[in-house]
Structure 1
Amino acid sequence: MPSRTFTWNEVSARRLERSGLAGKPLAQDPAEIAAALCGAHAQVLSAAELSLMLRTDHGTRTAVQDALWTDRSLVKTYGPRGTVHLLPAAELPMWTGALAAVPVGSSPFAPDVQLTPGQTEQVLAAIEDALADAELTVDELSEAVVAATGSWAGDLVMPAFQGKWPRWRQVMHRAGQYGALCFGPNRGRKVTYTSPRRALPGFRPADGPAALTALVRRYLYAYGPATPQDFATWIGAPSGWTARLFASLAGELEQVDFAGSPAWILAGDTEAPAAEPSGVRLLPYFDAYGIACRPRDLLFPGRAAQRALAGRQAGNFPVLLIDGTVAGVWHQRRSGRRMIQLTVEPLTPLTARQRRALDDRVQRVGEILQGTAELTIGTVSVGPHA
């Protein structure tokens, strides 16, 4: 039987607080913030910079860049769902141990495109060997993989944005998840890849079961109450496997009632802030809060689901968050070297207090991006990010 009942407002307030969106920053250090968020989605690196720095009260995007390439306290690699993330370097053993233990789902590719299990092992080993002491572009890495495995790895059969990619690239994200690959600094405009061991001497993935337990705990602390299906969707795992994982952790978890349905939290973690969820926030593309918080129907109520979701997928639009729920969308555009034009489309009229808070948020976006931001309230005509 559920031990406690949580309302949406209670859960929203505690998630805002634990995500650094309740007004008081959790930390100023990008790596500490990334740890609290369970990673920052970085397919669009500028969005990841905003995700982290909008949770501070000072500093610019260079703090994230320094954490990545100078201090090495952040690692850019493949994380949950096989998508690019910024993860704390100190937690990379946990992340790679946990992600390597997640069962691989069925391939989305045609049988004549897929790699066999044996070929997959060869490719992953070739990637690890090629990057052990190097920073390679994707073309250079491709040459090394094909040379080490065979011409089959280089067959241009994998559907891509424009044309075809070589066969081996369908498991590139798994190399990152297993700890054999991470991103290196750009070489001009070209992305490079390297081994995390070059930046983190002594690095090795943690034991799988222990790492999975630690990751479930991190996720539930940040985004609980949640269901096994919520976790499965977030990490990119089969739902049946995740249900068994939660069952195996029964002694560490506690069942509660959340908005009329059963959900789980960490055992004993029943507190919620006394105050109602409040505040105005601008969240960029693929911000962790919009992706990880569920149920969707409560986070994106009414018109917000139609305007701010792509199908049922969150993250494809930057969102305006008011009092813990999505209340609009926004878009930014550079104009010259320093001017940043922000268009915000609220779904309901803003109060005077909300408009003042929004002005502050817009100014902070400009500071982070090292420019001057100018606000327009109006319709956002830009479609969803792919």
Structure 2
Amino acid sequence: MTWAAVSARRLARHRLDAPATVGGDPVTRRIADVVAGTCGAHAQVMSAAEVSVAMRVAGAVRGDVRNALWRDRTLVRAHGPRGTVHLMASRELPAWVGALGGLDADRGVAVGEPYLDPDQVAALAEACPGVLAYRDLTATELTQALADTVGGWAAEPVVDAFRDHLPRWRWAQPTLGHRGALCFGPNRGREVTFTSPARLLPGFVPMDGPPALRRLALRYLHGYGPATPAEFARWLGAPRDRCEEVFRELGDSVERVTVAGAGPAFQIAGDPTHHELPRGVRLLPYFDVFGVGCHPRSLLFAGGAARRALARGQAGNYPLLLVDGQVAGVWHQALRGRRLRVTVEPLVRLSEAESDELAFQVQRLAGIQGAEEAEVETGRVTVGPHA
């Protein structure tokens, strides 16, 4: 397969070639379909997550993503791959919890180190659904509730974090999410809240671990393939040998292909090749999953893009300018009231048509965020990478 064919298919699967149309479906359902197709959306920075998702659905705005989360509940905010916070399609959460919880179980005694032992992690996982069964709790409220339930050790401020110390249970927060013991509720003012997936999604039952992990591997290959077991392991934050085993277990469901300039990889068996060239100018916000999840980086971030758009080899810390499926620059926005100003630093010379499309994308970015005025300028982006 040529790299162009790989890029064209990934752009289509990520709805970056053309946004998904709503048709007769509620927009929040279409949003969930798009998020399922990308295997989630990074949500450490919720404002960026809202843009990332909304840009993939025709006519969608940030409020539609919030409605999908808190009104219609077609999305859920939970701990996903690598323990990072993601938006996920609610219907996919049983598979996510089954796969990630199973991987945590495989880690055994190492799960809680150095702040918790396995028995303490198990006690927290058992306690969380009960204390979160009837209402959302802030971190402070949940800390007290867990201390009352499992013992004062849960609230001991021992976890180093940003020149402060968090309570002991917070070290296990991603693990508790992976086990389906908690997820995020709506913010209470500026404070994050936690809730139980079983309360948020009635009938929630995690899948068994091995089939859930195989399902997740196929979903990943649908959105990011062709890919290698090592790339899947890096994306998921899982042991490479376990991911190699998963790919073997997939059997005839996958097939080996060779990507020009990258080498052998796997795709879903019979997945059609896109023969058209990748086209389009797109502005991807912080931590957009296309930049974070697509490999190999040497081809996606070719030439000067690796030096300018990666932070110590890590993707996501800069918003990306994408031209014809390639990282071709970085950008930054300043949103003040109803006015949006976007500075774009291209690494390639944009044609007149590409400049016009860039201007259109800036207007779309403004509409998603509720801005009434928008302007774009090209020049050096002086803002450093996001932490």
Instruction: Name the TM-score, length of structure 2 as normaliser.
Output: 0.94
SS in 1 for 2:166: strand
Hey, what does 1:3 align to over in structure 2? none
1:261 aligns with 2:256: no
1:343 aligns with 2:343: yes
Equivalent positions of 1:29-40 (< 5 A) are 29-40=30-41
Hey, what does 2:382 align to over in structure 1? 381
Hey, what does 2:13 align to over in structure 1? 18
What is the CA-CA distance between 1:107 and the residue it aligns to?
Answer: 9.5
1:62 aligns with 2:57: no
The one-letter amino acid of 2:360's match is: D
Q: 1:114 to 1:106 in 2, by over 3 A?
A: farther
Distance 1:377 1:160 in 2: 37
Hey, what does 1:306 align to over in structure 2? 307
Distance 1:58 1:153 in 2: 45
Offset from partner CA, 1:237-257 (integer Å, 9 cap, x none): 011111111112222211111
Distance 1:251 1:161 in 2: 48
Distance 1:234 1:115 in 2: 26
SS in 2 for 1:85: strand
Distance 2:50 2:273 in 1: 29
The one-letter amino acid of 2:289's match is: A
The one-letter amino acid of 1:47's match is: A
Q: 1:280 to 1:55 in 2, by over 3 A?
A: same
Q: 1:108 to 1:368 in 2, by over 3 A?
A: farther
Distance 1:126 1:59 in 2: 38
Distance 1:107 1:331 in 2: 43
SS in 2 for 1:331: strand
Equivalent positions of 1:194-209 (< 5 A) are 194-209=195-210
Offset from partner CA, 1:253-276 (integer Å, 9 cap, x none): 11111125110011121x222211
Distance 2:141 2:386 in 1: 29
Q: 1:145 to 1:24 in 2, by over 3 A?
A: closer
Distance 2:159 2:109 in 1: 12
What is the CA-CA distance between 1:370 and the residue it aligns to?
Answer: 0.3
The one-letter amino acid of 2:15's match is: G
The one-letter amino acid of 1:19's match is: H
Equivalent positions of 1:130-141 (< 5 A) are 130-141=131-142
The one-letter amino acid of 1:339's match is: R
Hey, what does 1:290 align to over in structure 2? 291
Distance 1:149 1:108 in 2: 21
What is the CA-CA distance between 1:108 and the residue it aligns to?
Answer: 9.6
Offset from partner CA, 1:175-205 (integer Å, 9 cap, x none): 1122111111111221111111122111110
Structure 1: gaps of 5 or more residues = 1-5
Hey, what does 1:84 align to over in structure 2? 85
Distance 1:247 1:90 in 2: 26
Relative to structure 2, which stretch is displaced further, 314-323 or 15-24?
A: 15-24
Relative to structure 2, which stretch is displaced further, 325-334 or 23-32?
A: 23-32
Q: 1:167 to 1:325 in 2, by over 3 A?
A: same
What is the CA-CA distance between 1:360 and the residue it aligns to?
Answer: 0.4
- Identical amino acids, percent of aligned pairs: 49
SS in 2 for 1:348: coil
Equivalent positions of 1:207-226 (< 5 A) are 207-226=208-227
Is contact 1:154–1:168 with CA below 8 Å preserved after alignment?
Answer: yes
Is contact 2:21–2:58 with CA below 8 Å preserved after alignment?
Answer: no
What is the CA-CA distance between 1:65 and the residue it aligns to?
Answer: 0.6
Equivalent positions of 1:1-386 (< 5 A) are 6-25=1-20, 29-103=30-104, 113-259=114-260, 260-269=262-271, 271-335=272-336, 337-371=337-371, 372-386=373-387
Is contact 1:297–1:305 with CA below 8 Å preserved after alignment?
Answer: yes
What is the CA-CA distance between 1:105 and the residue it aligns to?
Answer: 5.3
SS in 2 for 1:164: strand
Is contact 2:111–2:118 with CA below 8 Å preserved after alignment?
Answer: no
Instruction: Name the TM-score, length of structure 1 as normaliser.
Output: 0.94
SS in 1 for 2:264: strand
Q: 1:315 to 1:107 in 2, by over 3 A?
A: farther
Once superposed, what is the RMSD of the aligned Cα atoms?
1.7
SS in 2 for 1:43: coil
Is contact 1:20–1:26 with CA below 8 Å preserved after alignment?
Answer: no
What is the CA-CA distance between 1:140 and the residue it aligns to?
Answer: 0.4
SS in 1 for 2:137: coil
Is contact 1:19–1:26 with CA below 8 Å preserved after alignment?
Answer: no
Distance 2:329 2:108 in 1: 36
What is the CA-CA distance between 1:57 and the residue it aligns to?
Answer: 2.5
Q: 1:235 to 1:227 in 2, by over 3 A?
A: same
Distance 2:141 2:294 in 1: 39
What is the CA-CA distance between 1:280 and the residue it aligns to?
Answer: 0.2
Q: 1:350 to 1:166 in 2, by over 3 A?
A: same
Distance 1:277 1:108 in 2: 44
What is the CA-CA distance between 1:114 and the residue it aligns to?
Answer: 2.2
What is the CA-CA distance between 1:106 and the residue it aligns to?
Answer: 9.3
Is contact 1:176–1:182 with CA below 8 Å preserved after alignment?
Answer: yes
Is contact 2:184–2:195 with CA below 8 Å preserved after alignment?
Answer: yes
